[in-house]
Amino acid sequence: MQTDVTMTAVPREGLPGPYYLDFTGFSHRVEKGAFGPFDPAGIPRVDYGALFTSSSPAGAGEGGELHYTPVTIAQYALGCLNRSASGESGSGREIFLAQAGWLRENLTGGRGDIGIWVHHFPFPPYRLAAPWVSAMAQGQGISVLLRAAEMTGDQAYREAADRALKAFAVPLENGGVRCEDSTGIWFEEFPTAPALHVLNGFIFALLGIHDHLLVSGSAEAERFWTEGTGTLLGNIGRFDLGYWSRYDLHRRVAASHQYHHLHHLQLEVLADLLDSDRLHRLAARWRNAPGQGIARFRYRISRHLNGLRHRLGRPEYRVEGISLDGAGGERS
Give dist(CA 226, CA 53) in Å, integer: 41
Q: What is the pLDDT along the chain (332 residues), one digit of tens a residue?
A: 444 455 566 655 566 568 999 999 999 999 999 999 999 999 999 998 777 653 433 333 333 589 999 999 999 999 999 888 777 767 788 999 999 999 999 999 866 689 999 999 888 778 888 899 999 999 999 999 999 999 999 999 999 999 999 999 999 999 999 999 999 999 999 999 889 999 999 999 999 999 999 999 999 999 999 999 999 999 999 999 999 999 999 988 899 999 999 999 999 999 999 999 999 999 999 999 999 899 888 888 888 887 776 666 655 444 444 444 433 334 33
Q: How far, in Å, CA of 167 to CA of 110, rounded?
A: 8
Model pTM? 0.89
Domains in the chain: boundaries = 8-239, 243-313
Residues 6+ positions from 275 with CB-CB distance below 8 Å: none
145: nearest Cα among 117, 110, 109, 112: 117
pLDDT of residue 108: 92
